[in-house]
Structures are given as structure tokens and as C-alpha cells.
Structure 1
Amino acid sequence: MVRIGPLPLQVTATWKYALIGGVATLPFTIGFYWQSRMGSEFSLNMVFWGGLLAGYLASAAATETEASSAGFRAGVLGGLPGLWLLVDLLEAAITWGSPLWFRVVTVSMLAVGFTIVLLGFAGFVGLLGSKVGGWLATKTGARRTPSVRT
């Protein structure tokens, strides 16, 4: 574990690989969304590749369960730019000609539901990428043997 600064924040190896895979995909995910003219199209292709990278790195260093966790977390991080779609949806929902209480309930339910579905699906795509990355790590011989037997 790595300790960061004076805070008692500890970054595990799983989070380290998830951050590498997730943050590496952010510029590409944002770029592809911007290239689509910020419309209703949001691609999770780069999220898959970030999960693949996280899964490969985690699988080369640790067990398969950590690779899956790293891939899911990388997918969630890589899917965060998709929340820009939520802004467009909320803007449309606010302009409805309905009572204020209905708009407040609708906007809050839409925000929570959309966020859960988007980040859950992005995490699943990252998980699939981590499975491929783990498979690649075993096929290329990148998986290290433990130095201590348990």
C-alpha cells in the first residue's frame, strides 16, 4: 500500500491499476464525445480499453479477483464523462410545463437513476475489458509467480 500525504489515505494495488486504466481513458472518452458534437451519442469503447489495461496490469501482478475489481473501477472512472449527457437530460426536464414539485421529483429521480445505470454499465464494460486483459497477461507470460508460497 502507498500512503499519500498527511491524510490517512491508503491506495491499494487494485486502486492503483484502476486509476491508471480509468484516468488514461478520460481524454479519449471526452474527445470522442466532443467529436460527436456533444449529442446523444456516448461511446464506451475507450472504457473497454482502460479496463483491459487495468486488468492486464493487475493480473500480471496479483490474482484474478483483483484484476476484475480493477477493471470495474477503471470502467466507472472512465465512464464519468457520460454524466454530461445527464446535463442535457436535466435541462430538457426542467423546461417541462408541469408543477414545480413534479419537476423536482422527476429531475432527482432522473439524475439518480441515470447515474446508477451509466456508471454500472461503464463498470461492466471495464470488467469485460479486464477479463480480456487478464487473459492477455496469462498468454504473454506477464503474470509473475509469487515470491512467497502460502
Structure 2
Amino acid sequence: MVQNGPSSLHVTETWTYALIGGIASLPFTVGSYWLSGMGSEISLNMVFFGGLVAGYLASAAATEPDVSHVGFRAGVIGGLPGLWLLVDLFVAAITWGSPLWFRFVAIPLLAVGFTIALLGFAGIVGFLGSKVGGWLATKTGGKRPAAVGN
């Protein structure tokens, strides 16, 4: 049976931990970009730590050992401020000395390609962070071994 309405908007545990890690890294990613002078580069260090937090929390709460998909999602969320660099692309495209029809074709293709590359790379950085976070959860006692029962 298909559910429609607010009850069908249930967020899974995977997305819960990904949102926690990704949103936690957003202010720091934006802050590091702002402190760098809002130039043409963005640091994904905080995306790594957002993935680490998401991986730690998911690994501590989950029963399966592989929770790396949480880190990829957290990385994509944490990398969203990097889309601000698209403004530089549009500003540069205005000054191109190419025909107008070429700009109408090239700019959307470049924007889509840049977005996929940026969010993919941020996802990989978050994935690596979640691997470290999962490892920390097992080493620091965040993940408890299952009790043996009858």
C-alpha cells in the first residue's frame, strides 16, 4: 500500500546520521571559505570531520559493520557550500569572447559537470571520514558488542 502525506516523509537512520554530520560541517565549511577571502577555492577539511561524526554515530548505533554510505551522504550535504563557486563560473562566462549560442550551451554543461565533480569529491571525502569514524567507534567503545543470548 502506498502512503501519501506527512507520514510517508519518514527519515531513515542512515539519513538522520548523514544529516547530523553534514549539517554540522556546513557552518565550518562556509566559515573557512569566508576566511579564505571568498576566492576560487574551498576546503573540504570540515566535510571530512562531518563524515567522521556521521560514521561514528551510525557505527555506534548500527548492527551491521559497514556504514560508509552514511559518510558519502554527509559529505554531499557538507559540500553544498562549494556550489557558491558556480557564481565565479557565471561571472567568467559573461566575459568569454565566444558566440552567444556557444555560451548558452557551454555554461549549463560546465555547471552540471562542476556540480557532479564537486559533490562527488565531497562525498568521497565524507566516505573516508565515515570510515575513520566507524573505526573510532569500535576503538573507543562507542560500538558495543552484541550480547550472547539463548
Q: Alpha-carbon deviation of 1:148? A: 9.3
Q: Is structure 2 residue 138 aligned with structure 1 residue 100?
A: no
One-letter code of the match for 1:142? G
Offset of residue 146 of structure 1:
4.8
Matches within 5 A, 1:20-59: 20-59=20-59
1:46-92 deviation digits (Å, cap 9, x = unpaired): 00000000000000011233x20110000000000000111111210
Q: Which residue of 2 aligns with 1:76?
A: 76
Distance 1:51 1:7 in 2: 28
Letter of the structure 1 residue corresponding to residue 82 of structure 2? G
Distance in structure 2 (CA, Å) of the matches to 1:122 and 1:46: 10
With normalisation by structure 1, the TM-score equals 0.90
Greater Cα shift, 105-114 or 56-65: 56-65
Return the alpha-carbon distance in structure 2 between the equivalents of residues 64 and 94 of structure 1: 49
Number of aligned positions between the proteins: 144
Deviations 1:116-136 (A, max 9, x none): 000000000000000000000
> Aligned with 2:6: secondary structure?
coil
| Structure 1 residue 8, shift from structure 2 partner | 1.6
Instruction: Tell me the equivalent position of 2:87.
Output: 87
Task: Look up the match of 1:18.
Answer: 18
> For 1:114 and 1:64, how far apart are their aligned partners in 2?
33
Structure 1 residues not aligned, in runs of 5+: none
CA distance in 1, matches of 2:147, 2:10: 23
Using the TM superposition, name which of 120-129 and 136-145 deviates more.
136-145
Instruction: Report sequence identity in percent.
Output: 74
CA-based RMSD of the aligned residues comes to 1.7
The whole-number CA distance in structure 2 between the counterparts of 1:6 and 1:41 is 40
TM-score by length of 2: 0.90
Q: How does 1:115-134 map to 2 (within 5 A)?
A: 115-134=115-134
Checking the alignment, whether the CA contact within 8 Å between 1:94 and 1:107 is kept in structure 2 is no
The whole-number CA distance in structure 2 between the counterparts of 1:49 and 1:22 is 9
Q: Give, as a single letter, the amino acid of the residue that structure 2 aligns with 1:134.
A: G
- Compute the displacement of 1:7 (Å): 5.0
1:97 match: secondary structure? coil
Paired letter, 1:68:
S
